[in-house]
A and B are shown apart, each in its own frame.
Chain A
């Protein structure tokens, strides 16, 4: 049942933070000044795999302006997990990280730090530190890691396998293959991708008068950061306070708790004086997380009449030197074998492997862009080989409403994927162009491609989904809304304020958003991750707003108006007769009375931690047209459309922004972005924005965006996830368009010009 919509949800009011950001008034971590702030710099390993035998800091310590030098010798040896997985989840074994290590596991691994009066002194001191390494044979590919005779990168992880658990099998795979008329096999590779959030990682910390550690940080997960800092340092969690000011993007990279334990150890080393740790881009690109590079093998069986009967495969994932999110993105990639196409049988195995390379962690889509790239490329290979229509085949085989995921019991309540495909087909003028581009021979060839996806909004039932919201009504009827989950640039504050305004029946401007999260003050919430926030935190906001509304209506009924509470409603900041809309009293008058009425006092507030035992599948499709320069290997995207089913769209303008950003990120993944490491030393070669080819605005074509608005009954406003989905289908759609244009199937991304040249040459097309 669709709920009757008011006036705020479904409109695009100005972002809550637009003015602050445009006027430069929004304060980010590095904008906040503490007097006497010291500067921390990390001492990083120059070797991919080595024991640190000694660190000679004598010269550096002698340098004037150096306040302290700390290393693995000075910090607790309590292993902790970098990632924001929930405490309740048993991730033993992913707790593989120390604040500083005496065993370097990749070039850039953190072995110590300098704290000095300024940036230059700290840098100079770093250059004066002498590190004695005992080098080990590094494993710089998954194959090398598996073949290694040890020592294992992490003790107890035999053959460097981080995990191979939770493979999945359903139905009779052998029988299904026997009964299939056609069997296909393919292997699909994706590269290391960097988040490249605009604001690099930055944190500072100091100790307050009570010796509590206060950390101001550019994080997606302040409450989780508090816990992990406590664990890493072995101090009670309540002695740590984490404050999150404005954040300039994270894309999952700031869902790792990476700087906070270090900066806490730094301030402790200098008696609680403030210390800032502000990564450069170069540092950010080697010392934080990346999208897992994966190799996905797929074998499929298709019946005579075009039914996808069986999927079998393996996901091999490169974790780099530490687990971070470890095996989870691998499992999410493997989930595509189950939650996209409904088959008779399915079998998938997963392995996540440690290597001596930079760390892989959470990145927008969390394994799904890799999984969807593999599966949607494979499906295209099937339809191409069998001469089937790619859209019809997908529509016939994709999961439908009421599908129950056999792996986790998750129910599909809404599903507009087929409508997304229809709309995309129309937007790009598919049928006409398909006809037009048959039999091309020239040096520039055009092609069309499409791909689709499904994706879970949150992480239930794998783990709990808590959302925190607190609402306080003021004397004029306006409210403060405080959420536990974080605005990191995605627009969550605005959308959550819209939900509050909608439920409360007050104008959007009467909801004052508290954008800063402070673990001492803000309600608990696991943070900004997955595509959960408008969905999970939205449910908390809705409940909190309903509570406040109920309270103020009860007060009005008791004290001000002559109607029972069940006859009252709030609309446009007025208490109205629910039956006929007649205004009974303005809200500001009632709110004021609630504060000053002599014989009655109670707060019109709510403080909600909402447990949301629900999850919802989002869907979408990408349609694109490309032109391949057969001479130079360059691929140009001429048109591209993403059509999403994310349920009800709460704010179209923000939703479009979200989709455009995700598409650009996926275009980079498909065509140009790849972190490269030296094949023998493991050193990152292109950790800067000149050599790491993040597309510029000129490299991204006009991005077409549309929505199929289904109604998701489990969501607060009929909505479901949209944050990550835009990154999921563009890469395979582009790959499939290149296949259409050239007849060549690229099973490795990014498809950069040299790679395209080499493949075209191999295929005799050059």
Chain B
């Protein structure tokens, strides 16, 4: 049972932004799959005022811009992401991440914007957005700014949204995907309806001539308080042979960037072991063309 103090339901971005500027304490609700659960567990609902943005058409849809960048509306749900042809063609790991979220009902309402703005390290879409150097378009009534996703996460549950600001779009730059391939592995205890013990997203370009990694970006979820990139491993990877040995070296380095900790859900030791194993697994699928099964 819910009993909120106030609820606005708007279908126009301008109206939403102006409301948010006048009443900055409004809590934005998109799919509500995080917000409603928080409300059930402890929020003082009578003090809660919600701004429903779900019907704002400007925040929906996935399209390729003229410059080749891919723009994803913050309100796209994971079902739409999983089935989108542009993403299927260009950003497989995001499709894989979308398919791994919750179950069919959740995927039909949970939005990618909510996934990111909720600010948790286990957000399945986040590691891939890190690995693709996604940019976030944030708007207020009066201004608009672009923030790289690496600067968006401030800490557990904390993101760089300023007062009155909405996330409107997520942009994947052309340079991040053209000529690149990727893979997302969600390691969870269950095959559905579960939170990742570890999420690994790799995005790489191979120099065919030398058989070496020309570029590699590794995004990890649940390897620290926020999603993160494996800078040491990425630097090491450039020019490293795409071989079992080379990959083992990269995977070993990936652990260096992590800040895994022990909780009752999993130990630091186990999470670090998984980082090494799963980074290797994600990259090994290049060498043998065989895909692992963790994300089935």
Contact = CB atoms under 8 A, between A and B. Distances in A.
A757 interface: yes
B3 A120 contact: yes
B205 interface: no
Contacts of B187: 632
Contacts of A757: 270, 273
| Interface-centre pick from A678, A689, A693 (highest chain B CB count, 10 A) | A693
A148 interface: no
A752 B267 CA distance: 13
B194 interface: yes
| Majority-rule SS of A interface residues | loop
Contacts of A636: 293
Nearest to A631: B277
Nearest to A698: B191
A120 B48 CA distance: 14
B86 to A, nearest CB: 28
A429 interface: no
B189 A672 contact: yes
A678 B190 CA distance: 23
Interface string B184-226: 0001011111110100000000000000000000000000000
Contacts of B190: 672, 693, 695-696, 698-699
Interface residues of A, number: 28
Given A120-B45, A631-B277, A757-B273, A696 B267 contact: no
Contacts of B293: 636
A134 B294 CA distance: 49
B189 A753 contact: yes
B251 to A, nearest CB: 11
A698 B103 CA distance: 10
B193 A696 contact: yes
A678 B281 CA distance: 34
A392 interface: no
B27 interface: no
B274 A693 contact: no
Nearest to B198: A632
B195 A754 contact: no
Nearest to B273: A757
A690 B197 CA distance: 12
A696 B191 contact: yes
A632 B277 contact: yes
A754 B267 contact: yes
Nearest to A633: B270
A691 B265 contact: yes
Contacts of A696: 103, 190-193
A119 interface: yes
Contacts of B1: 118-120
Given A690-B194, A693-B189, A698-B190, A754 B266 contact: yes
A119 B40 CA distance: 12
A754 B265 CA distance: 9
Interface string A624-657: 0000000111101000000000000000000000
A699 B194 CA distance: 11
Interface string B256-278: 00000000111100100110011
B194 A754 contact: no
A766 B187 CA distance: 19
Contacts of A758: 270
A386 interface: no
A685 interface: yes
Contact of B195 (A633, A634, A678, A690): A690
A676 interface: yes
A632 B274 contact: yes
| Interface-centre pick from B3, B192, B267, B270 (highest chain A CB count, 10 A) | B270
Contacts of A752: 189
A104 to B, nearest CB: 22
A683 to B, nearest CB: 11
A676 B264 contact: yes
Given A119-B1, A120-B3, 13 more contacts: A631-B277, A632-B277, A632-B278, A685-B264, A691-B265, A696-B103, A696-B191, A696-B192, A754-B267, A754-B270, A757-B270, A757-B273, A766-B273
Closest CB pairs A-B (n = 8)? A698-B191, A119-B1, A631-B277, A696-B192, A754-B270, A698-B192, A693-B189, A120-B3
7 contacts: A118-B1, A120-B3, A672-B189, A697-B192, A699-B192, A753-B270, A754-B267
